[in-house]
Structure 1
Amino acid sequence: MEHLINIDNGGTLTDICVWDGSSFSFTKTLTTPYDLSECLFDGISKASKALYGETDLERLLHHTAHIRYSTTQGTNALVERKGPAIGLIVEEPGVVDEMRSGPDSARALFDDLVGTRVESVDTSLEADALERSLVQKVNALTTNGAARIVVIADTPEAEAAIRTVLLRAFPRHLLGSVPFLYSWEFVPDRLRTRRGWSSVINTFLHPVMEGFLFQAQARLREHKVSNPLLVYRNDGASSRVAKSVALKTYSSGPRGGLEGTRALAESYGLEHVLMMDVGGTTTDVGVVEDGVIRTTRRGVVEGAPTSFPMSDVHSSGVGGSSIIAVRDGAITVGPRSVGAAPGPACFGLGGKEATITDVNLLLGVLDPASYLGGQMSLDAARSEAVIRSTIAEPLGISLEEALVQMEQAYYATMAGAVGHLAEDRTTLAAFGGAGPMSACGAAELAGVKTVLVPRMAAVFSAFGISFSDIGKTYEAAVEDRSAPALASLADQLAARAGRDMFQEGYALEGCTLHWTLVGEDARGEAIEDAAYARGEASAVSGEQLSLRLEVSANLPHSPLADGSAAVRQTATSAGSRLVRMSDTQRAELPVYVLDDQRHGAHAVGPAIVEGPFFTARVSGGWELDVTSNGDLILTDPR
């Protein structure tokens, strides 16, 4: 079969995972924030070497069916407020009060993205008067700095009237014209607060995503690659760049991790799994319970309600590149990060602040010569200088004491991110570049007795993307609940789906269709849903009703072993490593190379496990077992 390339672009590192029909090859590369297409193609080039034994970018590209791509850039742009100034044209000024009436974070988001750039318009005016009013309003908004404008009216008809006037007064081909987004056209949600927020956030994210993704597509065309680049979304499906919604890229990386977690939970029969995805800047935590990813029917972004479903993921500002500092006489971790540039001090790229990567290097957990598979050499002297100047000296303690206290502070911060979701039956799935190093320490503090470290932990979100299909979701408000009216509405949605899937390269007849009726109360909260079959009338309760269609064209997925247990055998040690256990004690710990172990390999900690592009620290008293999939199960039997 042709290859499938899965890419997860993070703030510090970009992960690449290639499925060739029988196995995975994968690699990592530094993210290049100045030009994201650079790290994309660097990563694919490295992946070709891992696959073929030599770099052959053209060969891999021309033997690839799809490239599925997930990025944190939209999420980061929102966090950093790097996007266009947005103006609003509203029919009813009260919508602004509604949008700002949520938590402090939502009010802050509105003030940062929109601020005072709001104009109201009376749609009952005669045509000429309405046009004069709208032209004045648009000119006022652009004079006030608006680079993009969102129109929020109470009805689709009112928005259509505004749209007709604006297209005539401000033609799309006009040089320097300001893009408009019409809320009802974007998402037919009767709750205008959600519809307004969805439109504003999407408008803010769109240019950030558009510039890079179309640039990447252009570079692929230079290589004469005809297959489209697919954008991986936060609903677990993928679609072409031109058919993707910017808002659905928000938190898409964690969804990849959750899809991979669900696959492993099914393989091992795990009932309750907490995903702990530790990246460079953040730790994302989600739940897979009884084989189902915990999601929110209407997602929330920084306290702002949106119209689309979203994985229920909690993000904390702690990661492998989070800054560890002294504030008010105490060691703190995050939320600021050194990012990809300059990175941790030990990277030797100019970093002047301490991170957990620097700590683990000086503790002896990390091997400076084998970090990232030997692709990067770590500089311990730089780490020591930074930790002495920023931690040890301000606290008046030794370097050794500082290292131990920094590690414990990091464990405590990580435990705080997951502990509130832990249950007696919980397994902690730890991945991301820094997850396996801290998993046991965080789990002990959170009261979790079992940790799963996937063999592909370092690129796990990219691995999770491999379980996605090409898909679309459509939703429409139901005004008439009779069988004929519902059938007519279903025909309209199916017609849209047919056109879109044809443009994706698939006939609707060969796709999987899933129909759902969703009932909501007056506040827009879902109270009931049920499968819909053509010809049926609605029996779903609720003041508001929506018809939802999910369409998917299946792509090949990698099979996983059934996770059955094996007879234990002693794990094979590859040597030992001198690791600091306390401020006064160091010990020689056995080092196990994960890929050298057979199914059933067993050992007892303390120990170090070296996986592909990651290092796992096994705490004293914990047991490790290697599974049929080559994953690592850590258990605390005490």
Structure 2
Amino acid sequence: MIRVGVDVGGTFTDLVLEEVEAGGRQRVFTHKVSSTIADQSIAVVRGVVELCAIAGVQPTQIDALFHGTTVATNIVIERNGAEVGMITTRGFRDILHMGRHKRPHNFSLQFDVPWQSSPLIKRRNRIVVDERILPPTGRVETALALDQVEAAAELFAERGLDAVVVGFLYSFLNPDHEMKAAEIVRRVLPDAFVCASCEVVNTIREYERFSTAAMNAYIGPKVARYLDNLKRRLAEAGVNAYVRIMQSNGGVTTVEQASRNPVGLLLSGPAGGVIGARWTGEACDQREIITIDIGGTSADISVIRNGELTIKNPRDTEVAYMPVLVPMIDIDAIGAGGGSIAYVDSGGAFRVGPKSAGAEPGPACYGKGGTLPTVTDAQVVLGRLDPEHFLGGGLHIDAALSEAAIKTHLADPMGLSVKDAALGVLKIINNTMALAIASNSVARGIDPRNYSLMAFGGAGPLHGVALGQIIAAKNVIAPLHPGITAAMGLLVTEPRYEFTRSSLTILQAGSEGDFAVANAAFDHLQAEAAAQLAADGFAHEGQRFERIAECRYVGQGFELRVAVPEGPFTAATAQEMARRFFVVHRTEYGHAFEDQAVQMVTLRVIGSSRSETLRLPVLEKGGRRNSSEAALYARPTTFDDGETIQTPRFDRMKLRAQDTVAGPAVIVQQNSTTIVPPGFVATVMKLGDLVIARTDGEA
């Protein structure tokens, strides 16, 4: 069995290959190549072929390939999606324009309102038709005008639109009109990307439902083309394995399902990193973790509580200020990475990011034409990155180019030495990241002193200890392969689908009829999830189902996710649900009103299936301190306090379990470099992960 994980970032594409032979012998190989922004599949396939050569296997031998991609996210950020048409209920043409009558920043007169200035669907392409379904039963008040739907579809055909959304007012109660309209559009426009809102997210709230469906159609054609290109290029390279795509909810899906509902891929890229971080935490016996994935372009932050991923509440699931009602791991991305450009702004302020040098031209030290100083250039100037060990020597870096870039654009304009300017770059970027970590932890009632900070991504271990000090984390963890933790996370995930249905019930006052409706809805949703898993080839025996209800106080605007007890939904279940809601509300907001009525709004069934997971060999026990076998050489290295010290380098691949490396030290490997400052010690765990803490026991 050979499985490959591929994660695409803005600068590098990371790969891991696991081979398990018949006798149980297992080998793991890693690789990293520059991303190809115009078409990510080019770098993906090139990396797979090169990785196979490194592992000594043929591409035809690969059994499964798991892929995390930023294609969907990039389309939204760059606003280069499809021209979309919409067919909607008469009188509700401008729902997407009005939204919730809220501005992203209430007190800013200049702030852009993106759903109005850059709408996913232009007003001229939103066509209304006669139809009306009424609550609470979903009865038909006005029949769907089929001729008007056909005329709208023909108009879209004349305009050459790439995608069409059908969104009617109460389709979550009765999807019949939407499905009939979608069928007509598919007949008239057989080559267009067509979706009905009930197929994308079948829940209450027309603005959020329409916006999610619009996003699905906006990114749909390009994502589908990308996935088609990926499968074609893989086949041409001899890779005939089944392919699975990482979703925003932390599960994987098929290429076909991802092509139909690409809106589920909007956090595909960073999700794999959080999954890999949880798996690494388990190996280090750490269940309370703050994760930060620092790549070349961005830093992605998340929190793992008691070994569980944090899933965003529905009110927070948005991309580029557009509401997207699909389940997402709670990840906050900021523009801070190794490629972040440092500059002096027009007011004379010293700034770093969010603009990045990316993969092309990259930092100045890459010698690919980049002349602006970046965070990576600052690390090079301070002696923290050695040319012969950068990507295992696979990418040449020139320290003279880094020094020239910092001197020209930072040091000379501000009257600083090159060293002080480089230290300034790191201080600014570290504090930017620390503030983002605080907003995702302290601001939510999480005390970082009780959490490990896991810093990964190619640049993560370079910043990990500095960030740990700023936020006062318990300790810092550098995974075995920091640069490819997201790719490794792809090999420890499982298929995961979520199906929803709105069903409004006041828990403390529900009737037997209300509970019967809830039971019927849960049964229907579980059958949908089971059918999808079966269609993907997962046997019934391995399928698992979790029930979630999104609840709120009566009159509240948005809900919180609450786990539903097993068994039939009864009056006792409803009371337990209310109690659980109070606990979740208190955890989220610090208080709960236990004398108030709780309303269940949306029912959700999560279907998953057991799958193979990555297994790493346990290291041979060492117990050595600053092992001479792993020692390489020593070079001058400048630390955050400005002191330059002759600092030894250690080969991480030669360290054993329970070895310790006392700072000052630099631990090098193919896909990352770990900094251990003076006063800190790194301890090697059983699988090779590093736990770094102060010598006095404090991070």
One-letter amino acid matched to 2:86:
L
CA RMSD after TM alignment: 3.2
Give the unaligned 5+ runs of structure 2: 21-25, 106-110, 133-139, 442-446, 505-511, 579-597
Give the alignment of 1:340-379 within 5 angstroms.
340-379=359-398
> In the aligned structure 2, how far is the partner of 1:26 from the partner of 1:255?
19
Q: Quote the offset at 1:373 in angstroms.
A: 0.8
Per the TM alignment, residue 592 of structure 1 is displaced from its structure 2 partner at its CA by 1.4
- Residue 536 of structure 2 is matched in structure 1 by 504
Paired amino acid for 2:166: V
Q: Which residue of 1 aligns with 2:47?
A: 43
Distance 1:159 1:178, change over 3 A: farther
Answer yes or no: is the 8 Å Cα contact 2:195–2:213 preserved in 1: yes
Q: Out of 316, 333, 339, which is 1:315 matched to?
A: 333
Q: Which residue of 2 aligns with 1:95?
A: 95
Does structure 2 retain, via aligned residues, the 8 Å contact 1:106–1:302?
Answer: no
Please report how far the alpha carbon of residue 285 of structure 1 lies from its aligned counterpart in structure 2 after TM superposition.
0.6
Choose which of 321, 330, 333 in structure 2 pairs with 1:303: 321
1:556 CA drift (Å): 1.6
1:192 paired residue among 194, 203, 206: 206
How far does residue 436 in structure 1 lie from its aligned partner after superposition? 0.9
1:13-55 C-alpha deviation (Å, 9 max, x unpaired): 0001112233421111111122322211111122213322xxx
**Of 324, 345, 354, which aligns to 1:335?**
354
How many Å separate the matches in 2 of 1:529 and 1:292? 13
**Partners of 1:370 and 1:377 within 8 A in 2:** no
Opposite residue 654 of structure 2, the aligned amino acid is: D
CA contact (8 A) 2:284 2:689 kept: no
Q: Where do 1:539-578 residues align within 5 Å?
A: 539=574, 540=577, 542-559=598-615, 569-572=625-628, 573-578=631-636
Q: Which moved more, 1:352-361 or 1:280-289?
A: 352-361
Paired residue secondary structure (2:17): strand
Deviation (angstroms), 1:223: 5.0
Q: Distance in 2 between matches of 1:513 and 1:582?
A: 49
Cα deviation for residue 481 of structure 1 reads: 5.0
Provide the identity percentage.
25
- Please name the residue that 1:433 is paired with: 458
Shift in Å, 1:564: 13
Matched residue, 1:172: 187
Cα–Cα, structure 1 residues 191 and 565, in superposed 2: closer, same or farther, change >3 Å? farther
Deviations along 1:274-308, whole A, 9 cap, x unmatched? 10100111100100111111221322323333322
Where do 1:132-151 residues align within 5 Å? 133-134=148-149, 147-151=162-166
In the TM superposition, what is the alpha-carbon distance from 1:236 to its structure 2 partner? 1.5
For structure 1, which segment, 586-595 or 281-290, has the greater mean C-alpha deviation from structure 2 after superposition? 586-595
Aligned CA distance change for structure 1 residues 286 and 583 (closer, same or farther; 3 Å)? closer
TM-score (normalised: structure 1): 0.89
* Structure-2 residue corresponding to 1:114: 121
Any conservation in 1 of the 2:494–2:608 contact (CA below 8 Å)?
yes
| Other-structure match for 2:416 | 397
Cα deviation per residue 1:159-193 (whole Å; 9 max; x = unaligned)?
6436535644x453647x64332112321111222
Deviations 1:319-364 (A, max 9, x none): 1111111112222111111111111111111112111111111221
Kept in 2, the 8 Å contact 1:419–1:447? The answer is: no
For the residue of structure 1 that corresponds to 2:338, the secondary structure is coil
Q: 1:527 to 1:352 in 2, by over 3 A?
A: closer
Deviation of 1:135 (Å):
5.4
Say whether the 8 Å CA contact 1:148–1:180 is kept in structure 2.
Answer: yes
Show the 5 A alignment for 1:409-558: 409-420=428-439, 421=441, 423-478=448-503, 485-486=517-518, 488-520=520-552, 523-526=557-560, 528-533=562-567, 539=574, 540=577, 542-558=598-614
| Residue 305 of structure 2, aligned match among 279, 286, 289 | 289
DSSP 3-state at the match of 2:63: strand
Q: Which moved more, 1:234-243 or 1:295-304?
A: 295-304
Q: Partners of 1:400 and 1:144 in 2: how far apart?
A: 58
Q: Is the 8 A contact 1:325 1:331 kept in 2?
A: yes
Is 1:325 the equivalent of 2:343?
yes
- Mean alpha-carbon deviation: is it higher for 159-168 or for 41-50? 159-168
Cα gap change, 1:166/1:622 in structure 2, threshold over 3 Å: closer, same or farther?
closer
The code of the aligned residue for 2:131 comes to T
Secondary structure of 2:113's counterpart equals helix
1:602 correspondence with 2:660: yes
The structure-2 alpha-carbon separation of the partners of 1:567 and 1:158, relative to structure 1 and needing over 3 Å to count, comes to closer
Q: How many residues in Structure 1 have an aligned counterpart in Structure 2? A: 629
Q: Deviations over 1:458-506 (max 9, x none)?
A: 1011111221112322223347955665554445334433442233122
Which deviates more from structure 2 when the two are superposed, residues 296-305 or residues 575-584?
A: 575-584
Question: What TM-score results when the alignment is normalised by the length of structure 2?
Answer: 0.82
SS at match of 2:359: coil
Q: Residues 555, 129 of structure 1: CA spacing in aligned structure 2 closer, same or farther, 3 A cutoff?
A: closer
Q: CA deviation at 1:449?
A: 4.8
Amino acid at match of 2:607: V
Between 1:179-188 and 1:9-18, the stretch displaced more is 179-188
Greater displacement, 130-139 / 609-618: 130-139
- CA deviations 1:89-110 (Å, max 9, x no partner) are 3322463323563525893145
Partner of 1:68: 66
User: What CA distance in whole angstroms lies between the structure 1 residues aligned with 2:655 and 2:323?
Assistant: 48
Quick one: structure 1 residues 415 and 477, their matched pair in 2 at CA, closer, same or farther if it must change by over 3 Å? closer
Cα distance in structure 2, aligned partners of 1:600 and 1:273: 21
Letter aligned with residue 114 of structure 2: A
Any conservation in 2 of the 1:599–1:630 contact (CA below 8 Å)? yes
Specify the alignment match of 1:33 in structure 2. 37
Is the CA contact (8 Å cut-off) linking 1:152 and 1:159 kept in structure 2? no
Judged with a 3 Å threshold, the aligned counterparts in structure 2 of structure 1 residues 512 and 387 are, in CA distance, closer, same or farther, namely: same
Query: Relative to structure 1, is the Cα distance of residues 38 and 590 closer, same or farther in structure 2, using a 3 angstrom cutoff?
Result: same
Give the aligned residue type for 2:265. Answer: T
> Which letter does structure 2 place at the counterpart of 1:257?
G
Out of 225, 229, 242, the position equivalent to 1:215 is 229
State the Cα deviation string for residues 435-470 of structure 1 (Å, max 9, x = none).
111112222222335111111101011111221112
Query: Is the counterpart of residue 19 in structure 1 residue 18 in structure 2?
Result: yes
1:247 lines up with 2:263 in the alignment: yes
The Cα of 1:627 is off from its aligned counterpart by 1.6
CA distance 1:241–1:49, shift in 2 (3 Å)? same
Per the TM alignment, residue 378 of structure 1 is displaced from its structure 2 partner at its CA by 0.7
- Is the Cα–Cα contact under 8 Å of residues 346 and 379 in structure 1 kept in the other structure? yes
The amino acid across from 2:95 in the alignment is V
Please state how far the C-alpha of 1:570 moved relative to its aligned partner: 3.7
SS, match of residue 645 in structure 2: strand
**Cα distance in 2, alignment partners of residues 353 and 143 from structure 1:** 47
Q: Which residue of 2 aligns with 1:620?
A: 678
SS at match of 2:344: strand
Amino acid at match of 1:601: D
Alignment pair present for 1:579 and 2:637: yes
| Distance in 2 separating the partners of 1:150 and 1:285 | 33
Instruction: Classify the secondary structure of the residue corresponding to 1:555.
Output: coil
Which runs of 4 or more aligned residues in structure 1 lie more than 6 Å from their structure 2 counterparts after TM superposition?
125-129, 139-145, 560-566
The CA distance in 1 between the partners of 2:383 and 2:51, in whole Å, is 29
Amino acid in structure 1 at the alignment position of 2:614: S
Q: Partners of 1:297 and 1:583 in 2: how far apart?
A: 41
